[in-house]
């Protein structure tokens, strides 16, 4: 009260002196202090970003995550340090690889072999899409050459897709 009376006197009115103190000292101080705190927070964020970019305080070099399930994804190396990686059941992909190998060994002409490989490529594209269509896969597999080994692998592939829940 003495400070307000000494420096912010507006007469003998105590309320006027308090209003004058608030308007001329406290409000400008609060505004400037708020600006100061915001500036300090922004400089700390800038320092932390530059220190991470410089390698200071960087995250550990190797982290292992075990993720299971159909179309499980891991994000790394994108803007937020993440990339979408899709893992497809290895059993399914092994059957696709076996189909290719068996088509190469089969007694087919080059045109038949090329057409069959194109069909296997289409089957793989359907599988990799994450949402293969049963009718399309069945038609593609039925279009493969009618050789027992190829038919057997194709049936195993379709069964593996059903087992993993992709079909």
Task: For the chain, 167 residues long, give each residue's pLDDT as a single digit of tens.
Answer: 777 667 667 667 778 777 777 888 888 888 889 988 888 888 776 666 555 555 555 555 666 666 655 555 555 555 555 555 555 567 888 899 999 999 999 999 999 999 999 999 999 888 888 788 888 888 998 999 889 999 999 988 888 888 877 77
Q: Is there a domain that residue 59 lies in?
A: no
Q: How far is 9 from 36, CA to CA, in rounded Å?
A: 29
Query: For the chain, how many structural domains are there in total?
Result: 2
d(CA 147, CA 167): 24
pTM assigned to the model: 0.48
- Do 160 and 98 belong to one domain? yes
Assigned token pair, 140: 């593609």
The reply to whether 99 and 47 lie within a common domain is: no
What is residue 86's three-state secondary structure? strand
Whose tokens are 């003495």? That residue is 2
Angstrom distance (rounded) from CA 52 to CA 69: 33
Indicate whether 63 belongs to any domain. Answer: no
Q: Tell me the H-state helices in 54-147.
A: 90-105, 110-128, 134-142
On whether residue 150 sits in a domain, the answer given is yes
At residue 73, the pLDDT reads: 57
> Which residues form the domain of 140?
90-164
């Amino acid at each position: 009260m003495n400070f307000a009376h000494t420096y912010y006197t507006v007469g003998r009115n105590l309320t006027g002196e308090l209003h004058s103190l608030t308007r001329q000292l406290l409000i400008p101080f609060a505004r400037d202090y708020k600006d100061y705190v915001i500036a300090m927070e922004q400089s700390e964020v800038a320092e932390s970003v530059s220190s991470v970019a410089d390698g200071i305080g960087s995250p550990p070099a190797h982290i292992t995550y075990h993720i299971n399930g159909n179309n499980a994804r891991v994000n790394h190396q994108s803007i937020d340090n993440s990339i979408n990686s899709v893992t497809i059941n290895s059993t399914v992909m092994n059957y696709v690889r076996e189909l290719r190998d068996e088509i190469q060994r089969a007694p087919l002409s080059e045109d038949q072999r090329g057409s069959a490989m194109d069909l296997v490529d289409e089957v793989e594209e359907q599988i990799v899409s994450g949402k293969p269509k049963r009718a399309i896969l069945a038609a593609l597999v039925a279009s493969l050459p009618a050789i027992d080994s190829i038919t057997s692998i194709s049936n195993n592939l379709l069964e593996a897709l059903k087992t993993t829940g992709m079909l």
